[in-house]
Amino acid sequence: MTITTSQAKGSVSVTILRIEGDLDASNYLDVIKAARDAYGGGARHMLLDMGGVPFMSSSGLMALHSIALLMRGEEPPDPEHGWSAFHSMGRDVEESGVQDLVKLVNVQPRVARALEMARFDQYFECCDNLEEAIASF
């Protein structure tokens, strides 16, 4: 898997993380790390370009969730401690509904299916193309 980071200027500065390759349990931590590095570099709005990801498992969901927390300025629980560590997260964002700090673009069909199954599509906005996505922030 390769992850490339770039910047785009919409109404706010948007950091684009382009991911290439299957997103699974072996590499989802790499994605979180890339997002953490970007946040450390000042990124506050993140667009995940999933055009190069043909497959994503539930580990990928964990990555998306962690990135959303990071962009809000929270340190996500150590994913190695298991999914149960994430219990508290949901309540914090109860009022906010669809969060608008992390968005997805170019989501491939199999990944879309995983998002749908987990109802993550209620939580992450999925855009059709890059320009539109950048403009939506």
Partner 1 sequence: MEHQGVSREQLELRLARAERRAARLAADGRRVRRTTECFQAAGLALTRTFDLDTILESLLDYLRRLVPYDSATIFLLEQETHLVARAARGYERWIEGPDARVVDTVRFDLDSSPRHRRLVTTQQSHVIADTEQDPDWDDIASSTHVRSWLGVPLVAGGHTVGLYSLDKVEPGFFDLEHRRWAEALAAQAAIAIQNSMLHRQTQRELSERRQAERAEREQRVFAEALRDIAALLNSSLDLDTVFQGILTQVARVVPSEAGSILLIVGDMVEVRHIRGYDETHVGWRFPLNRPHLLKVIRTGRPEVIDDARACDGWINTPGTVWVRSVITAPVFSGREVIGFLSLERDTPGAFTPQHVERLQVFANQAGIAVRNARLFEAEQRQLAEIEQAEAAARAANAKMRRELALAGAVQTSFLPRELPDLDGWQISVTLRPAGETSGDFYDVHSLPDGRVGLLVADVVGKGVGAALYMAASWALLRTYAGQAGVQPEQVLEATNRRITHEARTSRFVTLFYGLLDPATAILTYCNAGHCPALLVRGSDPETLCELSAQGMPLGMLAQARWEARTVHLDPGDTLVIYTDGVIEARNAQREFFDEERLHSVVLAHAGQPAAEIQQAILDAVDEFMGTGARSDDVAVAVLVREQVRASAGAAPVLRVASDLENLSLVRRFVAEQGAALGAALDAVDDMILAVDECATNVVRHGYRGREGEIEVEVRRDADALIACLRDRADLFDPRIASLPDLSVPLEQRPLGKMGLFFVNQLVDRIEYAVRPGGGNELTLIIEAAIRGPDSSTCRRAGGHK
| Binding residue count for partner 1, defined by CB under 8 A | 32
Which residues have CB under 8 Å from 76's CB, separation 6+? 32, 65, 66, 69, 70, 86, 89
9 binds partner 1 (CB under 8 A): no
Task: Rule CB under 8 A: say whether 78 interacts with partner 1.
Answer: no
Whole-angstrom distance, CA of residue 23 vs CA of residue 130 = 20
Of 22, 115, 110, 15, the residue nearest 64 (C-alpha): 115
Q: Is 114 one of the binding residues for partner 1 (CB under 8 A)?
A: yes
Position among 48, 53, 62, 133 found at the interface with partner 1 (CB under 8 A) = 62
Does residue 91 bind partner 1 (CB under 8 A)?
Answer: yes
- Is residue 111 within 8 A of residue 50, CB to CB? The reply is yes
Let me know: does 48 contact 17? Beta carbons within 8 Å: yes
Binding string, 29-58, against partner 1, x = CB under 8 A? --------------------------x-xx
| Contact residues: partner 1, CB under 8 A | 22, 24-26, 55, 57-59, 61-62, 65, 82-84, 86-87, 89-94, 109-110, 113-114, 117-120, 122-123
